[in-house]
Structure 1
Amino acid sequence: MDSTTHSLLAVTWFGLIGLMLVLYVVTDGFDLGVGMLTLLRRKREDHDVMVQTIGHVWDANETWLVVLGGALFGAFPAAYAFLMQELYLPVMALIAGLIMRGAAIEFRHSVQRGRLWDTVFGVGSLVAAISQGVILGKVITGFVSGESSTVFITVTAIGVVAGYALLGATWLVKKTVGALERWARHLALLSAQLTVAAAIVLTAATWIEGVAVHARWSQPGVFAPLAVLGALAALSYAWLTALLYRGSERAPFRAAITLFIVSFAGLVISLYPDFIPGRLTVMQAASDTLTLAFMLIGIGLVFPVMIGYNLYQYSIFRGKVISRTRA
């Protein structure tokens, strides 16, 4: 097969991995957010309701992370090797956080140590979110060391935590009632403000310090779509805020997802054609043509099943979750 076919397959896989990543961030993001928010509630009845809202989907959501890792290993082995070497500690912290969450959900019903496991669940969720923020920050900075990079990564971690809290809070607005819903609505407004503030700071810092990304933004035909996406992000934030003030229940979660997707699209445009800014391009990282083609057939069979199963889950368990003490 010629180089054109190889380039087309590499770009296709870059897009597919981006799709897997956004599916993971949105789905596991809201249940990580719910887990973090349990740390802010004292009543075990509230913890029970919050965990119940994600109890039927949290493990399926994390499947996207497994598929993402496998796809990255097969389609872009050079990028996988580089990232695992540079990100060993945050990746291990991420895995530890996910293990803590899984164990806590199973053992939190213990009569004697239930509160301890609730804390483990919340802390595990927070550790996983911070780890993902650190990973994102390191990738965007191209693994350049220095004080400015450390500050950038710190703000990125704060932004990811705030963003996941936003997804979790809007999910609770959708799934809970009464005082818990009102509390989640208030927290969603605060989380949205922190998320947008972090995004603005990171955008400005990238423009000033991010040499590779700044160069990409300066290329012809790149700034215009980024400006459109920036406007859409501002509209999504305004839409989200209005919905929360108006008392809408389902729509704020959709608005938060829209904000994430628009922001992610801007990130993809900012990175391409680099896989890792200033380090590795998509073409340099890609596997050979036959491997990419074979994997494309496989993911074409798996993708519809995964997406269909996820949609079926959300459809079956739709509706509000009400505490047994209220029933």
Structure 2
Amino acid sequence: MHEILTNAWFGLMCLMLVFYVITDGFDLGVGILSLFSREEKERDQIFLSIGHVWDANETWLVVLGGAMFGAFPAAYAALMEQLYVPVMALIASLIARGAAIEFRHAAGRRRGWDIVFGIGSLGAAACQGVILGRVITGLEPGGLSFGFTALCALGVIAGYALLGATYLIKKTHDELVVASRRHTVISLLLAFGAATVLTAMSMQFPEIGHDRWMQPGVFPLLAALAGLAAFAGAYVLYSLHIQSSQGPFRGAILLFLASFLGLGVSIFPDLVPGKLSLAQAASDSATMAFMLCGIAVVFPVMIGYNLYQYHVFRGRVDLSH
């Protein structure tokens, strides 16, 4: 029973992470791309496109942190001890973004808050990439780990920019759509380039590249997911070619799903490769069962609310606002 509960919570946390990365990923990407917009009218569209969803998107990060604290306290303690600086920088960046969004509409000169919003978005994406890279490398020191982590940060920034650009294609108007199509191609190429190099570098970390990937059935599954990711990237480009408004964003989501499934398969059954397994980090069965009852109530409400708000605010932004 304990093993079932442990694996169930690992799966739930992976699902929470996917929801967070896709939902908050696109509005972080929108913020990153706002740094390249020179016209205030374009930035007005950018803020209008996420003004109704950005705060709800970040809720998934809060739930994810709470789930790790309760279900895997040893992992929470170990990661917070080693990753205190990037975690605090992440929180500061998210606070800066929130302040910029709230104060921008009341400011006489908005450009300053626009820059704060863009830098906060870029900083949050970079911090998440650093955290991801440090976890994948097993918190190991050294030049190789540093290079891997830095490339992870670049990959996350490019991936979020891809989500943001494809989101703007379906939500905005006129020249901003044209610029977003261009940004989609650039960010897609950067994301694929970073992913390719990171995959090759992963072979230098035995806990992932040898011990896990060489287990029976793992490598064929990863190869299938890599094929799915390649298909998703091709679909994004095809959707751009036929001037689709919804297709690029759907393709970007599929790309992220394939990538995170591959990450989950590569790490399992560890939380920190080579350092901490699920079994070592897990709480007792009673705690996980009690939390499971709580999340069974909260999870459908959160998903339902997210779906409802996206349904209500579907379509392109209304420029009259």
Length-normalised TM-score, structure 2: 0.98
Q: 2:57 aligns with which of 38, 57, 61?
A: 61
CA contact (8 A) 1:31 1:168 kept: yes
For 1:285, the equivalent position in structure 2 comes to: 281
Q: Structure 1 residue 228: deviation in Å? A: 0.7
**How far apart are the structure 2 equivalents of 1:117 and 1:227?**
44
Letter in structure 2 aligned against 1:120: V
Alignment of 1:1-150 (within 5 A): 5-150=1-146
Q: Secondary structure at the match of 1:40?
A: coil
Runs of 4+ aligned residues of structure 1 deviating over 4 Å after TM superposition are: none
Cα displacement (A) at 1:137: 0.4
> Aligned with 1:107: secondary structure?
helix
Once the 2 structures are TM-superposed, how far is the Cα of residue 257 of structure 1 from its aligned partner? 0.4
Residues 156-198 of structure 1 deviation map (CA, whole Å, 9 limit, x = unaligned): 0000000000000000001012111011011101111100110
Query: Match for residue 294 of structure 1?
Result: 290
Gaps spanning 5+ residues in structure 2: where?
A: none
Q: Which residue in 1 is equivalent to 2:205?
A: 210
2:317 corresponds to 1:317: no
Query: Which residue pairs with 2:260 in the alignment?
Result: 264
Aligned CA RMSD, in angstroms, stands at 0.9
Instruction: Supply the AA of the counterpart residue of 1:185.
Output: R
Give the aligned partner of residue 229 of structure 2.
233
Residues 302-323 of structure 1: CA distance to partner in whole angstroms, max 9, x if unpaired?
0000000000000000001143
Q: Could you report, residue by residue, the CA deviation over 1:96-127 in whole angstroms, capped at 9, with x for unpaired residues?
A: 00000000001112343311011100000000
For 1:197 and 1:55, locate their aligned partners in 2 and report how far apart those are by CA, in whole Å. Answer: 32
Which secondary structure does the structure 2 equivalent of 1:275 belong to?
A: strand
Q: In structure 1, what is the Cα distance between the partners aligned to 2:309 and 2:106?
A: 27
Q: Paired residue for 2:194, among 198, 216, 220?
A: 198
SS of 1:168 mapped into structure 2: helix
Q: Is the 8 A contact 1:213 1:277 kept in 2?
A: yes
What SS does structure 2 have at the residue aligned with 1:216?
coil
**Alpha-carbon deviations, 1:67-110, whole Å to 9, x = none?**
00000000000000001001000000000000000000011123
Q: Aligned partners of 1:82, 1:13: CA distance in 2, in Å? A: 18
Secondary structure of 1:217's match? coil
**Could you say which residue in structure 2 is the equivalent of 1:177?**
173
